[in-house]
Amino acid sequence: MHRFYVPELSHDGVSQLPDDEAQHLARVLRLNAGDTVAVFDGKGREALACVESVASRRVTVKILEPRTPAPEAAVAVTLAQALLKSDKMDRVIRDAVMLGVSAIQPFVSRRTDVPRAALRTGVRQDRWDRTVVASVKQCGRAVVPPVLDTQDFAAVLASTSGRVRVMLVEPGSGGDVAVADVASLEGRRPSEAMVWVGPEGGWDPGEVRDAARAGVTLVSLGGRVLRADAAAAAAIAVLRYIWRDL
């Protein structure tokens, strides 16, 4: 069944779809009045609805009955992801949302090879927000997790104490800092956690030491070096399994 994001979803009666969702319904899917769809508000509520009217830029739906969306994860995971080039960041966000993250925190690290100027127009943020909604629609969630404002590594590290924090590091990159096997986290399911993934160039050794001093748990997924745009999905999936939170 086709699903549509309606932030101002009426609790009863008729709701209007946002412009982009209306165009997708009318021009891409070519649905008509009388068709049944699912609508969700991004905050956890979903319902069956009947398309009531379809105009050039205006689509209204009438709520029929509540609908149960895909369940949210027990562990609220925030993915702290170093900025990546091109559309790699889009793919990371798409997969992280499907794996149930509660938020994405982009950050700039010492080896990040993406200029901050690329963020100033807001185009990337808009694209990331659209990617989140598309992924939520695809995977059956009814909660739209935010992509937070991009910050520097040190600022995120200083502002996120008090929760379980796990940094994924490459094999052998810990230097004189202890790196645990990810399996060591088994049996200790937290209520919330932050998972840190570095840039294409890897972590700067000073960042690894700073994270360890700040109480971040350094973990490795094994002897293979993963691409930066694949590491987040692999880490979150493994942690979901370890925490029995699939």
Q: What phi, psi does 212 have (nearest 5°)?
A: -60, -40
Instruction: Answer positive or negative: Cα dihedral of 242, 92, 4, 130.
Output: positive
pTM for this entry:
0.92
CA triple 60-66-71, angle to 5 deg: 115
Tokens found for residue 10: 């009426």
Q: Tens of pLDDT along the chain (246 residues)?
A: 999 999 999 877 899 999 999 999 999 999 999 999 999 999 999 999 999 999 877 999 999 999 999 999 999 999 999 999 879 999 999 999 999 999 999 999 998 887 776 677 788 999 999 999 999 999 999 999 999 999 999 999 999 887 899 999 987 665 677 888 888 888 789 999 999 999 998 899 999 999 999 999 999 888 888 899 999 999 999 999 999 998
Say which amino acid occupies 100: G
Angstrom distance (rounded) from CA 162 to CA 139: 30
Query: Which segments of the chain belong to CATH 3.40.1280.10?
Result: 76-242
Angstrom distance (rounded) from CA 53 to CA 211: 54
Residue with tokens 């002897």: 223
Angstrom distance (rounded) from CA 61 to CA 117: 41
Angstrom distance (rounded) from CA 67 to CA 110: 46
Instruction: Answer positive or negative: Cα dihedral of 182, 185, 189, 195.
Output: negative
Pick the CATH number of 76-242 from 3.40.50.300, 3.40.50.2300, 3.40.1280.10, 3.10.20.30: 3.40.1280.10
Query: Which segments of the chain belong to CATH 2.40.240.20?
Result: 3-66
Give CATH superfamily name and number for 3-66.
Answer: Hypothetical PUA domain-like; domain 1 (2.40.240.20)
